[in-house]
Structure 1
Amino acid sequence: MNTRNRLLAGIIAVLIAGSWIGNVLYYRSGQLREPLFMNHEIMTATQGSIIDLYYLENKSTGKKVTAIQIEALPSLRFELTEWQSFSHQKFMHAFGYAESDLQPGKYTEATVYYNEGPPKKVPIGIIEVEDGEGDGNGALNFYSSGGGSDGSGFISGRLRRDSVVEEVSTSIGDNYKPLLTYELKATMPGAGELVPIQLPERVPQGASLRVDYQWHEQDPAAGIPTVFRPWMTIRSQASDGTERIDKNLIQFNLYLTEAQVRALVKREANP
Structure 2
Amino acid sequence: MKGKTFIISLLIITISWGGNLWFYQSKQLEEPIFLEHYYGGAGVFELYYLTNRDESSHVMSVEFSDGTTLHAKSDYYGFHNGNPAYGPDVQSRSTHYLLKKTGFDEQQMRELEVDHEGEATIHFNDGKTMTADIGTVESSELREGNGIFRSQGTSSSSNGRSFRTYTVKEDLKIDSMSSPFPEVQDDLKMKLYAPSIDLTGTPDAGGPRSYSKELDEEWSQVAGAPLENIDFPIDMKQGDRIRLTMQEKPDSIRAYSYEIEFTGTSENGTPFTQPFLVSNHPQFTPEQMELLIERRGSQ
* 8 Å CA contact retained: 1:134, 1:247: no
1:25-44 to structure 2, matched below 5 A, reads 25-44=22-41
Q: Which moved more, 1:210-219 or 1:12-21?
A: 12-21
* Residue 49 of structure 2, aligned match among 44, 49, 55: 55
- Counterpart position of 1:77: 72
Q: Using the TM superposition, give the Cα deviation of residue 70 of structure 1 relative to its aligned residue in structure 2, in angstroms.
A: 3.7
For residues 75 and 21 of structure 1, do their structure 2 counterparts lie closer, same or farther at Cα, with a shift above 3 Å needed? Answer: closer
* Residue 229 of structure 1, aligned match among 257, 262, 267: 257
* 8 Å CA contact retained: 1:146, 1:251: no
The structure whose Rg is larger is 1
1:108-257 to structure 2, matched below 5 A, reads 108-114=118-124, 116=126, 118-130=128-140, 132-134=141-143, 137=146, 139-174=148-183, 176-186=184-194, 192-194=205-207, 196=224, 199-218=232-251, 225-257=253-285
| Aligned-partner SS, 1:260 | helix
* In the alignment, structure 1 residue 98 sits paired with structure 2 residue 98: no
- Counterpart position of 2:219: none
Query: What fraction of aligned residue pairs are identical, expressed as a percent?
Result: 20
1:253-268 to structure 2, matched below 5 A, reads 253-265=281-293
- Hey, what's the Cα distance between the residues in 2 that align with 1:179 and 1:262? 18
Give the alignment's Cα RMSD to 1 decimal.
3.4
Q: Deviations over 1:184-238 (max 9, x none)?
A: 22357xx95227486323212333222222222226xxxxx21122312121212
* 8 Å CA contact retained: 2:70, 2:104: no
Higher strand share: 1
- Counterpart position of 1:222: none
For residues 13 and 117 of structure 1, do their structure 2 counterparts lie closer, same or farther at Cα, with a shift above 3 Å needed? Answer: farther
Q: For residue 89 of structure 1, what is the amino acid of its counterpart? A: Y
| Aligned-partner SS, 1:90 | strand
For residues 75 and 54 of structure 1, do their structure 2 counterparts lie closer, same or farther at Cα, with a shift above 3 Å needed? Answer: closer
Q: Using the TM superposition, give the Cα deviation of residue 51 of structure 1 relative to its aligned residue in structure 2, in angstroms.
A: 0.3
TM-score, scaled to structure 2 = 0.70
- Hey, what's the Cα distance between the residues in 1 that align with 2:54 and 2:207? 51
| Aligned-partner SS, 1:141 | strand
Q: Using the TM superposition, give the Cα deviation of residue 8 of structure 1 relative to its aligned residue in structure 2, in angstroms.
A: 8.3
- Hey, what's the Cα distance between the residues in 1 that align with 2:24 and 2:46? 30
> Can you give the 5+ residue segments of structure 1 that lack an aligned partner in the other structure?
220-224
Q: Deviations over 1:120-167 (max 9, x none)?
A: 23221111223x224574732334222221121111222233211223
* 8 Å CA contact retained: 2:263, 2:272: yes
> Can you give the 5+ residue segments of structure 2 that lack an aligned partner in the other structure?
78-88, 197-203, 209-223, 226-230
For residues 98 and 169 of structure 1, do their structure 2 counterparts lie closer, same or farther at Cα, with a shift above 3 Å needed? Answer: closer
| Aligned-partner SS, 2:90 | strand
* 8 Å CA contact retained: 2:59, 2:72: no
Q: Using the TM superposition, give the Cα deviation of residue 246 of structure 1 relative to its aligned residue in structure 2, in angstroms.
A: 0.7
- Hey, what's the Cα distance between the residues in 1 that align with 2:107 and 2:273? 27
* 8 Å CA contact retained: 1:147, 1:251: no
Number of residue pairs aligned between Structure 1 and Structure 2 = 255
| Aligned-partner SS, 1:250 | strand
| Aligned-partner SS, 1:50 | coil
Q: Which moved more, 1:109-118 or 1:31-40?
A: 109-118
* 8 Å CA contact retained: 1:52, 1:95: yes
